[in-house]
A and B are shown apart, each in its own frame.
Chain A
Amino acid sequence: MKLLRWLGLAALAAAVGTAAQAQTVKIGVVLPFSGANADLGHQIDKAFDLYVKLHEKDIAPYKVDLIKRDEGPPTGAVAKTVTTELITNDKVSLVTGFVFSPSAIALAPVVTQAKTPMIIANAGTAWITNLSPYIVRLSFSMWHPAYPMGAYAHDKIGCKTVAMAYTDFPPGKDSTEAFKTGFEKAGGKIVDSIPMGSPVQVPDFTPFFQKIKDEHPDCMYVFIPSGAHAVGVMKAYGELGMRKAGIKLIGPMDLVPDNKLQDMGDAAIGTIVMGHYARDLDNPQNKAFVAEWHKAYGADSYPDFMSAAGWDTMHAIFDTIKKLKGNLSDGMKVVDAMKGWSTNGPRGHVMIDPATRDIVEDEHAMEIYREKNGKLGEKVLGTTKAVKDECKVLKLGRCGT
């Protein structure tokens, strides 16, 4: 067994060595390219590629080499295998991507042991960043949109009573928990909380919504993974004529991802979501971003909040490469370099909180409306500036540790 140790050390040394001299920074990209959630992976991957394409020259003489791996199903197992091997075998300087929280959770011990930075571009379970000092998150935690939505729904939208419906997996629980916390603090009343099956299958939402319809709350807060589910929710909501029945649909931006918004039809109009990004968010960086996106991927392909986070993620990585002069051998240095990093990106002004290594971003309340050109758009009603992950602020449950 001594031999094993020796082999291990040797390989590790080699890893460090090669990374040190390389002019090319190897970056492991782990996203769900196949399977039921493939579209989420592709939304981020397109942003990565786009950023690299447009900004390669900025980091000359250094280059980046993206090694892409399939994150597989949300089990953590596949992600853990491929990512560990990206570190041990492909000797990447850092790993990024990660749509599913289980992947990040499973990998926390690995990146800690390997001292390899893990730059999360989506996985949203709040307490992930507490699992390892090598984890940095540029996307968001479920709490970022959901918590402020609580107060906003009560004070501005006028929801006195709310029924919550969520896909029965951790992000769903987080999101509803966060909303509940904010909403009740503001004095609202939760009348029901309905789990709507696993994230794997898109269920027939009608029974759940029919129940809520019969309960007549002012508003219905829905969280679903922003894949095939989103469209289903909107259809069921429309079919049941719930808006006519006076039940407003609210939720985090996952409810109306831009790449599916145009499929949602009139049913979506009037829906109010809280989120840090929308395709027609009005800031110059975003205008440019969207324009470049359409140029690269065609007029009927839209970036969504995941793409925006992906874009900023790659931006942060590039800035770090510049800052460290291409030497990313020391994981802790990389993480330190990212602490406090900030930029004006598609999402507006974002910053990495040095204390939590989690993102700080503005959250916008946005209403879906019909644009003059007939397309559906999102109109910003109000903005909460510099929102932190409230779960960690309040030190709730695992967020406290």
Chain B
Amino acid sequence: MPQFANIAVSILFDGLAYAMFLFIVSVGLSVTMGLMGFVNLAHGAFAMAGGYVVVSLTRNLGLGLIPSLIISAIVVGAVSVFFERGLYRRLYKATDLEQVMMTIGLAFMAIATATYFYGPIPKSVPLPQWLQGDVNLGFRTFPSYRAFLIAVGAVLIAVLWYGFERTNIGAKIRAAVDNRRMAESVGINVDLLFTLTFAVGSGLAALGGGLAIQLLGLSPSFAVIYLVLFLIVVAVGGLGSLKGTLLAALVLGIFDTAGKYLFADAGGFFIYAVTVAVLLVKPAGFYGREQ
């Protein structure tokens, strides 16, 4: 097929895969920030933790990748509840600055801890045979793992969408994000909701971290080096908006890929240029509430 079409397909496909990773990790951050206005800079640390759990499960216990990913998401999600109850809870009413300071502190501690247990050398996980190499979709071939990543993303989106738009809890969360006081006054237990979303968000982050090993490798500093990326997705998407986070992930993922592909020299530029462009026009992000 013609070159330009081929290029376009490559960009869309790779961008889509990248976008899925961004979405999976960022969505939890977006909802928790939207719900409680809680700035959680330790979110990346949960992703990193998830990654290492997967490493342990696959390498030391010899589990398959898929079960490991699921277990890791659940484990990290569960553990995150303790942090939420023990530490985060104390800072709901606190200022952003205090939240920033504590969560950055947690991220630092997470990095040191991971270094202690896993060492600084980047880890990777063995892939099952069917995820190696590439799949042929007739008109051209695509890397299997990325196809898999996209599939996982699609499934998650479906599940989240259902949970968010169709279930009672989802409705409550949306209500709380929209107007917390109101929600509380009609008897919604926002704190409980937050614990829930926090756990789910952290679990998703962990899943994202696990999936990212194949993409970006995994070392302790994973906890912070991609944080900016996640925050950008959240800001561009709009706090607490599932739709927004998805759209932002897609736009940023695809633009970033296109930029790297077409204008490698200015590669780093694009994602930020897009961010600025969007925020200047829509300060609250794609689907955020204007203040």
Contact = CB atoms under 8 A, between A and B. Distances in A.
* Mutual binders A and B: yes
User: Which of B7, B18, B217, B265 has the most chain A CB within a 10 Å cutoff?
Assistant: B217
Contacts of B146: 206, 239
B92 interface: no
A42 B116 CA distance: 13
Contact of B217 (A200, A208, A231, A240): A231
Contact of B145 (A41, A211, A214, A239): A239
B14 A228 contact: no
Interface stretch (A190-198, A348-356, A390-398): A190-198
A235 interface: yes
A207 B226 contact: no
| Interface bracket on A | 35 or more
Contacts of A34: 111-112, 115
B264 A194 contact: yes
Given A259-B121, A263-B124, A204 B257 contact: yes
B98 interface: no
Given A198-B268, A206-B14, A42 B120 contact: yes
A345 interface: no
Nearest to B221: A36
A177 to B, nearest CB: 16
Contacts of A263: 122-124
Interface string B188-222: 00000000000000000000000000111111110
B134 interface: yes
A195 to B, nearest CB: 6
Interface in A158-213: 168, 194-198, 200-204, 206-208, 210-211
Nearest to B261: A207
B79 to A, nearest CB: 24
A207 B11 contact: yes
A201 B124 contact: no
A211 B264 contact: yes
A41 B115 CA distance: 13
A199 to B, nearest CB: 11
B210 to A, nearest CB: 15
Contacts of A42: 119-121
Contacts of B14: 204, 206-207, 210
Contact of B257 (A35, A200, A207, A214): A207
B42 to A, nearest CB: 18
B172 interface: no
B18 A204 contact: yes
Interface string B249-272: 000000001101100110110000
Most buried by B among A195, A239, A240: A239
B6 interface: yes
Given A39-B122, A42-B119, A204-B18, A228 B217 contact: yes
B3 interface: yes
A207 B17 CA distance: 11
A34 B115 CA distance: 9
A284 interface: no
Contacts of B56: none
Contacts of B218: 228
Contacts of A259: 121
B163 interface: no
Contacts of B10: 207, 210, 214
Interface string A235-247: 1001111000000
A141 B132 CA distance: 36
Given A36-B221, A211-B264, A231-B124, A238 B132 contact: yes
Interface in A1-56: 34-36, 38-39, 41-42
A41 B220 CA distance: 14
A155 interface: no
Contact of B133 (A194, A196, A241): A241
A260 B123 CA distance: 8
A204 B215 contact: yes
Given A38-B115, A210-B14, A260-B122, A197 B268 contact: yes
A266 B225 contact: no
A117 interface: no
Interface in B104-127: 111-112, 115, 119-124, 126-127
B143 interface: yes
Contacts of A200: 225
Nearest to A241: B134
Interface in A241-274: 241, 259-260, 263-266
Nearest to B257: A207
A214 B264 contact: no
A227 interface: yes
Contacts of A231: 122, 124, 217
A39 B120 contact: yes
Contact of A232 (B11, B17, B216): B216
Contacts of A203: 216, 260, 267
B95 interface: no
Contacts of B124: 231, 235, 260, 263-264
Contacts of B119: 39, 42
B141 interface: yes
Nearest to B122: A228
Interface of B: 3, 6-7, 10-11, 14, 17-18, 111-112, 115, 119-124, 126-127, 132-134, 141, 143-146, 214-221, 225-226, 257-258, 260-261, 264-265, 267-268
Interface of A: 34-36, 38-39, 41-42, 168, 194-198, 200-204, 206-208, 210-211, 214, 227-229, 231-232, 235, 238-241, 259-260, 263-266
- Shortest 8 CB-CB contacts between residues of A and residues of B: A239-B143, A38-B120, A228-B122, A207-B260, A228-B217, A39-B120, A263-B124, A207-B261
10 contacts: A34-B115, A201-B216, A202-B217, A206-B257, A207-B260, A228-B122, A231-B122, A231-B124, A239-B146, A260-B122
Given A38-B120, A39-B120, A228-B216, 14 more contacts: A38-B219, A41-B120, A42-B120, A195-B267, A196-B260, A198-B268, A201-B226, A203-B216, A206-B18, A206-B257, A227-B219, A232-B215, A260-B121, A265-B132
